[in-house]
Structure 1
Amino acid sequence: MKYVVVDFEWNQSPYGKNTSNKRLPFEIIEIGAVKLDENGREIGQFSKVIKPKVYKKLHHVTKSLTGITEKELSLGSPFPEALEAFLEWCGDGYMFCTWGNLDLMELQRNMKFYHLEDMLEGPIKYYNVQKLFRIFYDNENSTASLEYAVDFFKLRNKAGFHRAVNDAVYTADVFRKMDWKEAEKWYTVDYFRNPKTRKEELKLIYDTYSKYVSKEFVSKEAAMADREVRTSRCFKCGKPAPKRIRWFVGKNKAYYCLAECEEHGYLRGKIRLKKTDEDKIFVVKTLRSIDPDGAGHIADLKEEMRQKRQEKRHREGTHEG
C-alpha cells in the first residue's frame, strides 16, 4: 500500500465570521502532498496553489502564517482543476495521512461546494499522524503541534512551516518514525459524509474503545430513542454490557452512561449528536474501558448535573414568584 501524506492551507473571510459563506467557511488555497511507498520511501511530491473563488482577499492570520500573497493566488489553478490533478497524482491503492483531523473534512467541504463529491468516495479511512504521535509518544499532550513533533524527533530542516508541501514533508518524516504495524490498529475514519442508512453505519473496534457512527435521524429525540444508539456492548467480547448508570446529559451537551461487562469491567459510554448541512442528526458513540476511579467520575458527573438542574429550576421558580 502507498501512503499520501497531505496538507492543505486555507483562507477565510478577512472581514469576520459574520461575512463568511456558510457553505464554505474555509477555502483551500494550497495543496501539498508527499507519496510514500510501502517501505516509507518518498516516491513523489505534489504542490499546487489554488486561485480563490470566494475569499479573494487574504485574512491577516493566513497571510502571516503562510507567507502566501494575493498575487501568488491570482496565478493559481481553479480548485476543480487542482483537485483533478491531485487525485490523478494520488493514483490507486493508497491511504491518506494528515496532521490532525481537519484537512480531509475541509477538503470534502470544498468538494461539496463545487459539486465534486463523487470524485472521492467517503467516509474516508486515514491515519491521523497527530493522534498516532499522542498515542505512541506524548500521551499527555492531546494537541501537540507539528513543530513540537518535529523537534521531538530532531527532524527540523531548512524549510519553514505553514506551506502545504513543507508541512506534508514534515508530517511524512514524523510518520516514518512510527511502528506502522501498530499504527494500523489506530486508523481514523472521517465521516463528513456520514452514513445515511442503517446499512451504511460504521462500527469501529480499537484496542481500548469502540466507535459507532449512526445513520441519519430527523431529530435529536428520534436519535436518542433508537435502540442501536442507546445499547451498550463490550467491544472486547461483543456481549451486552448492562448499564449501571443510564444515559444522561453531561457537559458540552454530550450524553454519558456507565456500563459494566461481567468479564472486562467498566465501560464509559459517550454520545455526541452531530448535525448535517441538511439539519438531520446523526450519532457518534464511543464505549471506552475505564477503571473503578473512572466509573466514580461518571457517577460524580451525573450528580453534578442533577444539582445544576435543580439550582436552575430553583432560580427560575424564584424569578417567576
Structure 2
Amino acid sequence: MNAIVFDLELVKRFRKGQLSEIVEIGACKIDLKEKKLIDQFQIYISPKNGYISKSTRKFIKMTKEDIKTAIPFSKAIEQFSIWLGDDYYLCAWGKDDKAHIINQCVRSKMNLDWFKNYNDIQKQIGDLLVADNNSQLGLKNALQLAQIEPMGKAHRGIDDAINTAQLLLRFIDEIKLNKNNVTKKEISQQFLKNKETIEQNKLYKANISAK
C-alpha cells in the first residue's frame, strides 16, 4: 500500500464572495513497505475564468511556461485520481487541503469516491517534534526541528509535497494512518459554504453597482 503526500496551492483571493480555486496539485507517492519515495505528480489548473493573476503566479512561483500547461479542474482531478492507483492513504499537512478538494468537487458536481483514507499528519508529527504541542506547527518549522534541509521553494505545491513526504518518511514508524471516506456531513458543509460565498458575491456586486 502507498501513502500519497499531496499539497494544494490556491488562487489568491482579495474579497468576500470570491470562491477558492485550486491552481496546483503537487504529490509524492511513498511505498510504505519499502519506506521510500517512488513517484511524483505535479499539475497546474486553470481557474474557471481562465486567468491566473500575477499575484497568484508570483506566490506559487509559476512561470509563463507553466501557464500554458494548466488544464481545467475536472481533467486535473481525473489525471490525479488515475495516478493515485487503487490502494492508498492520502496524507497532507493540515485539514485545509481536504476541505478545498471537497469544496471544489461539490461545486463542480464531481464524484468523490476516489478521495479516501485522508490523514492529517501535521498533528501527529507536531506532537513528536514538540512537547505539549497545542498549536499547528508550520511545515517550515517542522523541517527545522526535524533537521531536514528543505527542498525547492515554499508555497510551490510539488516542493511542499516533497518536503512533507520527507517528514513522513522520517517518522514513518511512529505515524498511524487511518482508512476513511468522505462523509455526507462533510459534503453538506461544503455545499452550504459555497452557497454562502455565492450570496456574498452577489451582495458585493450589488454594492459596487449602487456606487
Length-normalised TM-score, structure 2 = 0.77
Distance 2:180 2:53 in 1: 31
1:154 paired residue number = 147
Alpha-carbon contact 1:51-1:74 (below 8 Å) kept: no
- Could you tell me how far 1:277 is from its partner in structure 2? 2.9
Alpha-carbon contact 2:93-2:139 (below 8 Å) kept: yes
Aligned residue for 2:16, secondary structure, equals helix
- Could you tell me how far 1:40 is from its partner in structure 2? 1.9
Change (3 A) 1:192 1:72: farther
1:41 paired residue number = 36
Distance 1:113 1:74 in 2: 25
User: Percent identity among equivalent residues?
Assistant: 25
Change (3 A) 1:277 1:42: same
Matches of residues 292-303 of structure 1 in structure 2 within 5 Å?
A: none
1:52 paired residue number = 47
Change (3 A) 1:143 1:34: same
More strand by share: 1
- Could you tell me how far 1:44 is from its partner in structure 2? 0.6
Alpha-carbon contact 1:12-1:55 (below 8 Å) kept: no
Change (3 A) 1:187 1:136: farther
Matches of residues 304-319 of structure 1 in structure 2 within 5 Å?
A: none
Distance 1:82 1:276 in 2: 20
Alpha-carbon contact 2:103-2:191 (below 8 Å) kept: no
2:11 paired residue number = 11
1:282 paired residue number = none
Give the number of the structure with larger relative contact order, counting CA–CA contacts within 8 Å between residues 6 or more apart.
2
Change (3 A) 1:133 1:190: farther
Root mean square deviation of aligned Cα: 2.8
Alpha-carbon contact 2:91-2:121 (below 8 Å) kept: yes
Flag structure 2 segments of 5+ consecutive residues without an equivalent. Answer: 194-211
Aligned residue for 1:159, secondary structure, equals coil
Distance 2:151 2:126 in 1: 25
Work out the number of aligned pairs and report it.
191
Matches of residues 66-105 of structure 1 in structure 2 within 5 Å?
A: 66-69=60-63, 72-105=66-99
Alpha-carbon contact 1:33-1:165 (below 8 Å) kept: yes
Among candidates 277, 286, 290, match of residue 191 of structure 2: 277
Matches of residues 1-321 of structure 1 in structure 2 within 5 Å?
A: 1-13=1-13, 16-20=14-18, 25-38=19-32, 39-54=34-49, 56-58=51-53, 60=55, 62-69=56-63, 72-120=66-114, 124-138=116-130, 139-140=132-133, 142-180=135-173, 182-184=174-176, 187=178, 193-194=184-185, 277-278=191-192
- Could you tell me how far 1:71 is from its partner in structure 2? 6.3
Distance 1:86 1:163 in 2: 17
Length-normalised TM-score, structure 1 = 0.53
- Could you tell me how far 1:147 is from its partner in structure 2? 0.8
Distance 2:49 2:138 in 1: 29
